[in-house]
Amino acid sequence: MTSERFPTLQTASGEDLVRLMHEVPPDALLPILDNLSLDETLLVLLLQRKDLQSEFLAEVVRRRHFLKSYTVKKLLAFHPHTPRTEGIRLLRDLYLMDLVQFTISPGVLPDLKRKAEDQVVA
C-alpha cells in the first residue's frame, strides 16, 4: 500500500506536515485526516490540491468536525472530484453569491449546476 511509505502522516506537525501534504501522492493521503495537527488552515491548503481522489474528499465530508468551517465546505463543493452525493449536500450550505459562482464555474457536473441554479432561484 502506498500510505505505508509515509508512516509519519499521522504524527507529523508544522513544516513537516505541510511538506508531506504536497509530496505524498493523492492515493496515500487518507491517514493525514487522523493527524491531530491537521487544523482548518492546513486542511484548506490540502483541499486546494486538484489531484485529490473522490474517496479522500468523501472521507473529509464524513468527518463532521471538518465541516464546521464554511471555507472547507466551499472548497469541497467546488472541488472537481467531490462525489456527486456529497456535492449536493454541500450546496445546501453555500451562500447565494457562492452558488452563483458555482453555476458559472467550468467543469461543474450538469445536475449539480441545476441544483445550484434551483437554489439561487428559490
The full set of domain ranges for the chain reads 2-86
Q: Whose grid coordinates read 449546476?
A: 113
Tell me the angle at which helices 84-91 and 70-78 cross, rounded to the nearest 10 degrees.
Answer: 140
What grid cell was written down for 10? 499521522
Find the length of the chain: 122
* Alpha-carbon Rg for the chain in angstroms: 15
Question: In the Cβ-directed half-sphere of 22, how many Cα atoms lie within 13 Å?
Answer: 8
Short-list 63, 120, 77, 121, CA closest to 97: 120
Q: So what's the pLDDT on residue 81?
A: 96
Give 4's pLDDT tier (boundaries 50, 70, 90): low
Residue 5: pLDDT above 70?
no
Greater confidence, 13 or 67? 67
The whole-number average pLDDT for the span 24-38 is 93
Q: So what's the pLDDT on residue 1?
A: 45
What global pTM score does this model have?
0.89
Four-CA torsion 43, 45, 48, 53, nearest 10 degrees: -50
